Homo-oligomer: A and B are copies of this chain.
Amino acid sequence: MKIRKEVMELDPYVPGRSQDEIAEEFNLKKKDIIKLGSNENPWGPSKKAIEAIKRDLNTINRYPESDLTDLKEEIAKYSGVTSDQVIVGGDGADELIDVLAKVFMNPEDEFIVPIPSYMYYEFLFKPYGAIPIYAQWDLDSNTLDIDSVLDSITEKTKMIFLCSPNNPTGALIPQKYIIKILETTDAIVVVDEAYFEYSRVNNVNLINDYPNVFIMRTMSKVLGLAGMRIGYGLANAEMIEYMHRIKPVFSLTKLSYIGALNTFKDKEYIEGSIEKGIKSRDFLFEELCNIKSLNVLKSYSNYILIGVKETEFTASSLSRELLKKGVIVRDCTSFKGLDEYWIRVSIGTMEENKKFISIIKSILQ
């Protein structure tokens, strides 16, 4: 077998652990586990979406429609664009990252990622032979180091990933920074707005002025559909058309499509999820700030990054202690740009938050 060198260089595959395995190892009941590790919406999906899915279950022997016209129209309305400026991804936003690579990246081309940020950009781009160039996120001020991005731009730069609010640090990238970058290069600037609803801020206004901006979003967060793998992208119609040439035709499942369509129509659910999410985050932030040994970063998203260097724990040992008591958080040791002292905690329901705060206090005292 002649495996490509890009694949040989990747780490061997280690399957994730299921909740059942975690429950068994730590002798927990699966229903008692508090999931604060994946930035999901803890209040569940839209009930109207669930009802619509139920009505269509008997047709899943048929292929999905390929055009998705009405879904694109709903997304356009929700986002304030036209439907020819919308592309839908069938594996969350991750499929769109892959499509971006296919449309724009040749081997040896460079892409810029300020670190720490979402690690999956790199996972998806490396198989194309594209080269990651790391810019910096300043952790002390929790802001993008804009100069480190500008200094990284070369003739080989084909794409720049800007995550706002940034995962895992939680802060926003000011629009003037994004504009400065857009005006410095004709590389594609991907603004990852997976969590934008929690900040009430977005950058959609840029797509009519800048042909090289791509706004990337997901339904896995506030919109409550992580399990159904739906993402979407917004850009000028020309870029969208090229992306459609290459996007897999049927990658969105029939039930994902129905769930997505009916969630966008359920305005009450969306607004409720945003309000509860912001309240939950602000509660968590205040409570965590009261624990003196933690370095709690201000967040505009549905997770909070916490430095634990002043405690007796590393991220790994603290995560394990939390797991023993039934709380899953994200140990951020594997994030490039973070040392071994950071964990990321997603918002939970208020009940989950209170339990988590009580558990982490008991561990740290």
Contacts of A15 in B (CB 8 A): 66-69, 244
CB<8 Å pairs between A and B, sample of 11? A1-B211, A12-B241, A15-B66, A16-B66, A18-B69, A45-B58, A59-B227, A63-B226, A92-B250, A95-B251, A127-B246
Q: How far is the CA of A253 from the CA of B202 in the complex (A)?
A: 28
A238: Cβ under 8 A from any B Cβ: yes
Instruction: Indicate which residue in B61, B188, B239 contacts A226 across the interface (CB closer than 8 Å).
Output: B61
Given contacts A19-B65, A253-B253, A256-B253, contact A246 B60 (CB under 8 A): no
Distance between A46 CB and nearest chain B CB, rounded to angstroms? 9
Which of A3-11, A161-169, A170-178, A352-360 lies at the interface with chain B? A3-11
A91: Cβ under 8 A from any B Cβ: yes
For residues 234 through 268 of chain A, which have their beta carbon under 8 Å from a beta carbon of chain B? Answer: 238-239, 241-242, 244-246, 248-256, 259
Q: How many copies does the complex hold?
A: 2
Contacts of A246 in B (CB 8 A): 7, 10, 127
Contacts of A53 in B (CB 8 A): 57, 255
B241 touches A229 (CB 8 A): no
Contacts of A98 in B (CB 8 A): 248
Among A58, A60, A92, A254: residue with most chain B CB under 10 A: A60
Which of A33-41, A110-118, A275-283 lies at the interface with chain B? A33-41
Q: How far is the CA of A58 from the CA of B40 in the complex (A)?
A: 13
Distance between A41 CB and nearest chain B CB, rounded to angstroms? 5
A106: Cβ under 8 A from any B Cβ: yes
Contacts of A211 in B (CB 8 A): 1
Distance between A7 CB and nearest chain B CB, rounded to angstroms? 5
Distance between A168 CB and nearest chain B CB, rounded to angstroms? 16
Interface of A is mostly: loop
Query: How many residues in A have their beta carbons less than 8 Å from beta carbons of B?
Result: 81
Contacts of A331 in B (CB 8 A): none
Given contacts A12-B241, A40-B63, A53-B57, contact A229 B90 (CB under 8 A): yes
Given contacts A50-B58, A98-B248, A253-B253, contact A3 B227 (CB under 8 A): no
B7 touches A95 (CB 8 A): no
A224: Cβ under 8 A from any B Cβ: yes
For residues 60 through 104 of chain A, which have their beta carbon under 8 Å from a beta carbon of chain B? Answer: 60-69, 90-92, 94-95, 98, 102-104
A-B pairs, top 3 by smallest CB distance, nearest first, are A227-B254, A13-B244, A16-B66
Given contacts A18-B69, A38-B62, A50-B58, contact A4 B94 (CB under 8 A): no
Q: Using a CB–CB distance below 8 Å, which chain A residues touch chain B? A: 1-4, 7, 10-13, 15-19, 35, 38, 40-45, 50, 53-54, 57-69, 90-92, 94-95, 98, 102-107, 124, 127, 158, 186, 188, 211-212, 220, 224-229, 238-239, 241-242, 244-246, 248-256, 259
Distance between A225 CB and nearest chain B CB, rounded to angstroms? 6
Contacts of A17 in B (CB 8 A): 67
Instruction: Indicate which residue in B11, B91, B212 contacts A91 across the interface (CB closer than 8 Å).
Output: B91
Q: How far is the CA of A181 from the CA of B188 in the complex (A)?
A: 44
Given contacts A54-B54, A102-B127, A228-B253, contact A242 B60 (CB under 8 A): no
A61 touches B45 (CB 8 A): yes
Distance between A281 CB and nearest chain B CB, rounded to angstroms? 17
